[in-house]
Amino acid sequence: MKSHQRYTAEEKNVVQGYSEMFLDVKNRGEGAFIPFTVAGDPDFETSLKIVQQYVDSGADALEIGFPFSDPVADGPSVQAADIRSLNSGMTTERCFEFIDRIRKFTSIPIGILVYYNLIYKIGLEEFYRKARKSGINGILAADLPPEESNDAVYMAKKYKINQIFMVAQTTSNQRINEVVKRCSGFLYVVAVMGVTGARSDIKKSTVDLIKRVKNHTKLPLVVGFGISKPEHVSDVIKSGADGAIVASAIIDIITDKLDDMDVAKDEIGSFCRELKHSTK
């Protein structure tokens, strides 16, 4: 069987870890720019081209959503992307193939955002094994509370994957301590109260949260939810975050330009370059 196995990215030893990436970025005096997309939105091949565009336009890491029928943490942009992706025939299996394909053109860290039923259905060990094989660095299960995460954290360690957790403004200091015990790779700091989606400005409360969380952990802090403009990115980086995830604002370009994905790709490229520039 071994002779038929393709080289995974890991065996080629080209996958960059989160700690390595954050260190590199820090040494350059920048923050990490991490664009998000839903795997297979609007279809497998187009989605792959969009990810390629992210990489070519300065992404330091990637955050890839596995589409789910009931994404309760997501606002309208990501919901619509999930539906487009599922309608195009994406399954969990195809999502792993998608990551596999991304690994053919980049070694930057790849995190996935997933809802726990997708993991549960395949089986925890099988999911983490496949994740590792396809070259995934981090798994964030949006609806998995830390109290229920022991099995997932165990599997993550076993398969050398970073289990990533979220903290928000409503997270108490005590709970932050519980979360960071289980978290590795980076800590996802939720910038706004609510679901994913583009917002008009970064509130002082987000800045305060970044500062508060820094007292509890040395993990890199990545801010997401509502980060939709270059100013937002520079604001959170200046406030001490190590990176920013941009999702809905980019997905909105896909949604607007479904008829002409070439134009969308160009627009995404220039938007990403602008976002990356604002991490400096």
Partner 1 sequence: MELSGSHVIPVETGSKTLKDAINEAFRDWITNVETTHYLIGSTMGPHPYPIMVKHFQSVIGNEARKQILEKEGKLPDAVIACVGGGSNAMGVFSGFIEDKDVELIGVEGGGDGIETERTGATLCKGTEGILHGSLSFVLQDDNGQISEAHSVSAGLDYPGVGPEHAHLKITGRANYVAVTNQEALRGFELLSKYEGIIPALESAHAVAYAEKYSKVIENSEKTIIINLSGRGDKDMFLVAKEMGVEV
Residues near partner 1 (CB under 8 A) are 68-73, 75-76, 79, 86, 91-93, 115-118, 120-122, 143, 145, 170, 193-195
In whole angstroms, the minimum distance from the beta carbon of 68 to partner 1 comes to: 7
Q: Which of 138/226 has CB closer to partner 1?
A: 226
In this structure, what token pair is assigned to residue 25?
């970025």
Q: Which of 55/142 has CB closer to partner 1?
A: 142
3 burial level (CB within 10 Å; 0-12, 13-18, 19+): exposed
Longest Cα pair distance anywhere in the chain, in angstroms? 56
d(CA 97, CA 66): 12
Nearest residue to 68 (alpha-carbon basis) of 47, 91, 88: 91
The answer to whether residues 40 and 69 touch, using CB atoms and an 8 Å cutoff, is: no
Exactly one of 74, 82, 235, 242 is catalytic; name it. 74
d(CA 243, CA 279): 8
Active site residue 74: yes
Residue 187 three-state SS:
strand
d(CA 264, CA 41): 13
Active site residue 30: no
Q: Which of 12/145 has CB closer to partner 1?
A: 145
Q: Which of 55/73 has CB closer to partner 1?
A: 73
In whole angstroms, the minimum distance from the beta carbon of 176 to partner 1 comes to: 17
d(CA 68, CA 58): 28
Exactly one of 60, 63, 242, 252 is catalytic; name it. 63
In whole angstroms, the minimum distance from the beta carbon of 75 to partner 1 comes to: 7
CA atoms in the 13 A half-sphere facing the CB of 100: 14
Q: If you compute the radius of gyration of the chain from its CA atoms, what whole number of angstroms results?
A: 17
How far does Cα 119 stand from its chain's mean position? 17
In whole angstroms, the minimum distance from the beta carbon of 78 to partner 1 comes to: 11
Nearest residue to 95 (alpha-carbon basis) of 61, 59, 144, 135: 135
In whole angstroms, the minimum distance from the beta carbon of 74 to partner 1 comes to: 8
In whole angstroms, the minimum distance from the beta carbon of 171 to partner 1 comes to: 11
The answer to whether residues 40 and 67 touch, using CB atoms and an 8 Å cutoff, is: yes
Just list the catalytic residues.
63, 74
